[in-house]
Structure 1
Amino acid sequence: MSIACLFSGLYCEADEIASIVLDRTGARSVSDREVVARAASLSGMDEDRIAKAFFAGTSIFNRFSHEKERSVSWLRLAAAEILAEGGPMVMHGFSAQLPPESVSHVLRTCIIAGLQHRVDVAEKAGVTQAEAKRHIHKGDEDRAEWTEEIRGSKDPWDTSLYDLVIPVDKTGVADAAEQILTQLANPAVKPTASSERAVQDFLLAARVETFLGSNGHHVEVHAKNQAVTIIIHKNVLMLERLERELKELAEKVEGVKSVETKVGPDFHKSDIYRKVDFEVPSKVLLVDDEREFVQTLSERLLLRDMGSAVAYDGESALDIVSNDDPEVIVLDLKMPGIDGIEVLRRIKENRPEVQVIILTGHGSEEDRDVCMKLGAFAYLHKPVDIETLSETIKKANEAR
């Protein structure tokens, strides 16, 4: 049987439709949760961090860590492994966008409805109209960014992306399910030798992509009949050396017979290719109200391949900690508003795993004792030698 991939907006009754299709076909249900769990198992990354790839926006540290790109790569590998296991299945949710167009026995279905219908469905579930509209707006934003990431289209409801588009507010749930069942029986979406090979190509490309990602590289990877093509989208000064390194790594992946590298259409833009060094901290938050000092410090850490973001007051720092994932924080004590000791106290109460280094020009021995009792990793005085600070940050990251 073909594979049904159901992608939908919030409150479009997609779960009800999927349930009918599953009951009628006896197919395997593949949810986002299953794909995320497998991706986490394959990668060793935390499930919550991988699941963030589905949602709009990226970490302020992402340009250094490439965590979102790595998460997407592992999600691709998880989906590819599931497809390669064969058998009838219904893949529903964000994961429904992952199978490539070359796999022709996938029925790509979009389930959508007008805003009022979606609000009505939400209200029946006990959600207020105002809350429903907020959820729908955010959900559509998430789906737009995800679809652009995976399919290259900024419009998640672009009809050219799907074999079947169902306006459930006009068809109803039962008829929507019938339409899917009818199309699943269409010979055009039946498995063929060619489409089964495409699944194996998808699997091999995903294996190569995750292997390269684990070695610090973020590139686009395709495969056809065990021939791998690597596309470099960001400018790099020593292109030949990068191509050689990518080829040598890709050739180590089992099943790869040949490797070709290309530059993508955006290669000559100003965005610079940056390899991730997993031995060096990439999520350092610098908190200091002396703007020139902290910006210069950030630049000096970048020269040592450490990725950092900057906050100029305690309140901003706490907002970043609550919404993002800094690994190490370098924190000043004397700041307007919430001072460093209170910031440290709140961080250690809510995110004890985050390591905090105090860097101050005005602290006393009493301040030092208070900070160390609250759980600070180290207490340093300005001016600090950059090598001393760098080594302290590395040790704090290792401790974390």
Structure 2
Amino acid sequence: MNKNDLSQPTFITVPRAAMLCGVSRNTMFQWVRQGRLKAYQTPGRTNLIRPSDLVAFMRENGMYVPPDLATLGDQESKIEAQYAMADVPEGTLKALVVDDESAIRSIVTRTLKEVCPVYEAATGYEALHLLTMHADIRIVLLDLRMPGQHGLQTLKEIRTFRPDVQVAIVTGYDAEIPAEVRAYTPSVRIVKKPFDVNALRQMVQEMKAGLAAAP
């Protein structure tokens, strides 16, 4: 892998961070364990580092920061501003749209914002991090086919550590829906592409109403 190839994912793995810092994986894992470098752990025990945290760490320790990494860190800081949702009262039910296609995320987010505040994630790893950090995310629309962690694995992890979340799988074809996903129905809904935005909005309204009525 090219050291400067940093277009994706949004998070950086510990081995990749070690390569960028020019140290061994063991050294990087030690820095994480010591708390010198902040990392987030998914329910699957994968350690992930935010680009902005890695950039700050490298600068503090006099390391060379590749321009692409610095740019990625700046982009991540802008995304963090979205995550804050400072104008939304704490505890307000929120939804999460998980899709690697930005155009799809944009359409779905615009539609769902009429129902509730919405977070976005481009990868399964990012989605799991957001679900770990924000207990008020109660509805997830999850694309099945994504680079990195497949939607099915993300679904399994959500079901393990956030059983309170309602999930809708978004997919293009019935044939690509694994039997393991179908086993979760009807608790997990299935949305087929291309979807009707009005039907999508209605579905999320029903999910929200169901959560509000739950004891």
Normalised by the size of structure 2, how large is the TM-score? 0.53
**Paired residue secondary structure (2:83):** coil
**Paired residue secondary structure (2:183):** helix
Asked if the contact 1:61–1:283 (Cα under 8 Å) also holds between the matched residues in 2, the reply is no
Distance apart, 1:366 and its partner CA: 4.6
- Kindly indicate whether residue 207 of structure 2 is the aligned counterpart of residue 393 of structure 1: no
In structure 2, relative to structure 1, the CA distance for the partners of 1:312 and 1:362 (3 Å cut) is farther
Identify the match of residue 307 of structure 1 among 97, 102, 117. Answer: 117
CA distance, structure 1, for counterparts of residue 197 and residue 84 of structure 2: 21
Identify the match of residue 374 of structure 1 among 179, 184, 197. Answer: 184
Distance apart, 1:388 and its partner CA: 1.0
Deviations 1:147-204 (A, max 9, x none): xxxxxxxxxxxxxxxxxxxxxxxxxxxxxxxxxxxxxxxxxxxxxxxxxxxxxxxxxx
Which residue pairs with 1:292 in the alignment?
A: 103
Asked if the contact 1:59–1:324 (Cα under 8 Å) also holds between the matched residues in 2, the reply is no
Identify the match of residue 60 of structure 1 among 76, 79, 83. Answer: 83
In structure 2, relative to structure 1, the CA distance for the partners of 1:395 and 1:63 (3 Å cut) is farther
1:238-277 pair list within 5 angstroms = none
Distance apart, 1:61 and its partner CA: 6.8
CA distance, structure 2, for counterparts of residue 394 and residue 64 of structure 1: 22
1:206-355 pair list within 5 angstroms = 282-302=93-113, 304-325=114-135, 326-355=137-166
Deviations 1:13-34 (A, max 9, x none): xxxxxxxxxxxxxxxxxxxxxx
**Paired residue secondary structure (1:335):** coil
In structure 2, relative to structure 1, the CA distance for the partners of 1:61 and 1:363 (3 Å cut) is farther
Distance apart, 1:308 and its partner CA: 0.6
Asked if the contact 2:171–2:177 (Cα under 8 Å) also holds between the matched residues in 1, the reply is no
CA distance, structure 2, for counterparts of residue 374 and residue 58 of structure 1: 34
Distance apart, 1:363 and its partner CA: 4.7
CA distance, structure 2, for counterparts of residue 353 and residue 59 of structure 1: 24
CA distance, structure 1, for counterparts of residue 180 and residue 141 of structure 2: 16
Asked if the contact 1:64–1:307 (Cα under 8 Å) also holds between the matched residues in 2, the reply is no
In structure 2, relative to structure 1, the CA distance for the partners of 1:61 and 1:328 (3 Å cut) is farther
In structure 2, relative to structure 1, the CA distance for the partners of 1:300 and 1:396 (3 Å cut) is closer
Gaps spanning 5+ residues in structure 1: where?
Answer: 1-56, 69-277
Distance apart, 1:64 and its partner CA: 6.4
In structure 2, relative to structure 1, the CA distance for the partners of 1:383 and 1:310 (3 Å cut) is same
Return the letter of the residue paired with 2:90. E
CA distance, structure 2, for counterparts of residue 358 and residue 64 of structure 1: 29
Asked if the contact 2:95–2:139 (Cα under 8 Å) also holds between the matched residues in 1, the reply is yes
CA distance, structure 1, for counterparts of residue 164 and residue 147 of structure 2: 26
The sequence identity of aligned pairs, in percent, is 26
CA distance, structure 2, for counterparts of residue 294 and residue 64 of structure 1: 21
Distance apart, 1:305 and its partner CA: 4.1
Asked if the contact 1:61–1:307 (Cα under 8 Å) also holds between the matched residues in 2, the reply is no
Distance apart, 1:67 and its partner CA: 1.5
- Kindly indicate whether residue 171 of structure 2 is the aligned counterpart of residue 360 of structure 1: yes
In structure 2, relative to structure 1, the CA distance for the partners of 1:348 and 1:374 (3 Å cut) is same
Distance apart, 1:300 and its partner CA: 2.6
1:41-120 pair list within 5 angstroms = 60=83, 62-63=85-86, 65-67=88-90
Distance apart, 1:395 and its partner CA: 1.8
In structure 2, relative to structure 1, the CA distance for the partners of 1:296 and 1:289 (3 Å cut) is same
Q: Which protein is bigger by CA-based radius of gyration?
A: 1
Deviations 1:30-84 (A, max 9, x none): xxxxxxxxxxxxxxxxxxxxxxxxxxx999374564127xxxxxxxxxxxxxxxx
CA distance, structure 1, for counterparts of residue 84 and residue 117 of structure 2: 7
Which residue pairs with 1:384 in the alignment?
A: 195
CA distance, structure 1, for counterparts of residue 162 and residue 182 of structure 2: 16
Normalised by the size of structure 1, how large is the TM-score? 0.30
CA distance, structure 2, for counterparts of residue 61 and residue 393 of structure 1: 22
Distance apart, 1:362 and its partner CA: 4.2
CA distance, structure 2, for counterparts of residue 300 and residue 316 of structure 1: 21
Deviations 1:252-299 (A, max 9, x none): xxxxxxxxxxxxxxxxxxxxxxxxxx8xxx401000000122122212
Which residue pairs with 1:42 in the alignment?
A: none
